[in-house]
Amino acid sequence: MSKTLKIFLVWLLLIGFTLPSAAYSTQFADSGETLRLHWAAKLIPIAFSTSLIKPNPYVKPDSDIQGAIERSLEAWEKAADIKFQVFWTDKQTVSPTGKSGDGVSLVTIAQTPENLLLFGADANTVSARTRIFFNRRGYITEADIVLNPYEQFSTDGSHGTFDFEATLTHEIGHLLGLDHSSVTGATMNEHQGKNGVYNLSAFSSRTLAEDDLAGIRALYGGNSDEENCCGTLAGKLLSSSGKAAKNYQVWAEEAESGRVAAGVLTNADGVYRVEGLRSGHYKIYAQDFGSETGRSFSVEELGEVNVVKGRTQTLSKKLKSATKDFDVRYIGFNAQVSELAVPVNGGKSYVIYVGGKNLDAGKVAIGFNSPYISVTPKSLTDHKYGADISVVSFEVNVAPETPLGEYSFFVRSAGEATEFAVGSLTVEKFVNSWNSHFLLPRD
């Protein structure tokens, strides 16, 4: 049976200016990447434009905009040592580009010429943009957010709209100084789906991933009730030829649960630094982050570390750089594949898809490091999606007691070459009712 190619075009969220960024988590004020953008004060004033709540064509009527705003801000406040001071204003338009703005950090959806300028040619692909102003010392002085008034937003999961709360939560991350994350299921990942992708509501990004939490703790320190915050892991990776292993994804998984704790990318010198980790035991992995054409090398486990509050552990390695003959590019659900994580619930089973090159159900194994998630034996099935992509599906069983968060699965060939889809399954409280059967708790 042949299916038509259903690779979803995924709507990208992009920030309103470009800066070089080696780390997943932070934006830098300088090309040497020494000054990380962040607010100097722990109390951050933010003004919401009445354009968001006045009847308009861009927000579905009766949406709970005020509730969504409160929850978005609270998600970040709970994560780090920061508070927002909220104002409402009749102001509609963001500050134009320049050395400094008007000092008001505005969130708006008004269709004014200056607001529309932020989207340029990307008006049909970007859900929102954030424009940041900062001083020479790397302190953010203003951050303006425009929700794309060419799009439609909602808070009830309406098909074909962007979720207002998910979009705002991501943009507030930029406002605070975070850049995009390499972890697929993180709120700060650059891909955002509209409601309806995978035939699901796109609520995932409302909830911050462990990776997002680590990033914001790295910038502002943990919330005062966070006892185990924070430790740092740092190191340098070399390829087998001795050159700097640049653009490698280095990520930490909680050793016991297999949950993704944080992921970063190595810089041009092969150096990585994961801050904001809670004290605990982690397994550390590295794999080349690849390019448009995919990843070349097999994943490598760097080792296990005990991260201790207030300390920096180092873990450096010369990699074996073993090549592999397959590639994992897409994840999928309900016969659709995209670059978005699949949200699942504990206590249920789901059929997950993986798409890429040279994937063959008879030749690869798929599994999870987490003791909470298993792949049903012999459930791997090939699907024909066209000549340019090979797609395999498999059934996963998510134990009822699985901690909420992001989990990775691996694809391994007979030759032991392995690739991880980092944080591609996100265990959530939002209901994904497409389960294939219910599971009982383990005794």
Nearer to Zn ion, 167 or 249 (CB): 167
Q: How far is the CB of 102 from Zn ion (least distance, A)?
A: 23
Tokens for 228, please give them. Answer: 């185990």
Main-chain phi, psi angles of 117, to 5 degrees:
-55, -30
Q: How far is the CB of 178 from Zn ion (least distance, A)?
A: 9
CA pair distance 266, 22, nearest whole angstrom: 6
CB atoms within 10 A of CB 159: 11
In contact, 91 and 49? CB cutoff 8 Å: yes
Nearer to Zn ion, 13 or 218 (CB): 13
Nearer to Zn ion, 231 or 423 (CB): 423
Q: DSSP readout, 290-333?
A: -BTTB--B--EEEEEEEE-TT-EEE--EE----B-S-EEEEEEE
Q: How far is the CB of 33 from Zn ion (least distance, A)?
A: 19
Told to check if 183 binds Zn ion by CB under 5 A, we report no
Site stretch for Zn ion (CB under 5 A), options 12-20, 84-92, 333-341, 432-440: 12-20
Nearer to Zn ion, 94 or 361 (CB): 94
Residue of 176, 189, 146, 167 whose CA lies nearest to 79: 176
Nearer to Zn ion, 145 or 233 (CB): 145
Q: DSSP readout, 30-95?
A: STTS-SB-B-SSSEEEEEEEGGGTS--TTB-TT--HHHHHHHHHHHHHHHBS-EEEEEEES---PP
Q: How far is the CB of 180 from Zn ion (least distance, A)?
A: 6
Nearer to Zn ion, 126 or 277 (CB): 126
Site stretch for Zn ion (CB under 5 A), options 11-19, 60-68, 110-118, 272-280: 11-19
Site stretch for Zn ion (CB under 5 A), options 7-15, 23-31, 206-214, 298-306: 7-15
Told to check if 126 binds Zn ion by CB under 5 A, we report no
Told to check if 147 binds Zn ion by CB under 5 A, we report no
Site stretch for Zn ion (CB under 5 A), options 13-21, 42-50, 275-283, 339-347: 13-21
Tokens for 30, please give them. Answer: 């300088």
Query: Whose CB is nearest to Zn ion?
Result: 13
Q: How far is the CB of 188 from Zn ion (least distance, A)?
A: 7
Told to check if 94 binds Zn ion by CB under 5 A, we report no
Residue count, binding to Zn ion (CB under 5 A): 1
Nearer to Zn ion, 13 or 202 (CB): 13
Q: How far is the CB of 211 from Zn ion (least distance, A)?
A: 14
CB atoms within 10 A of CB 116: 16
C-alpha distances in angstroms, 128 versus 166, 190, 240, 390?
Answer: 11, 11, 41, 33
Q: How far is the CB of 92 from Zn ion (least distance, A)?
A: 22
Told to check if 73 binds Zn ion by CB under 5 A, we report no
**Cβ contacts of residue 371 below 8 Å, gap of 6+?**
256, 257, 258
Told to check if 168 binds Zn ion by CB under 5 A, we report no
In contact, 47 and 87? CB cutoff 8 Å: yes
Nearer to Zn ion, 13 or 250 (CB): 13
CA pair distance 431, 428, nearest whole angstrom: 7
Told to check if 331 binds Zn ion by CB under 5 A, we report no
Q: How far is the CB of 174 from Zn ion (least distance, A)?
A: 6
Among 7, 13, 265, 274, binds Zn ion (CB under 5 A): 13
Tokens for 431, please give them. Answer: 């209901």
Sign of the CA dihedral with 15 first, then 21, 26, and 29 last: negative
Chain residues binding Zn ion by CB under 5 A are 13
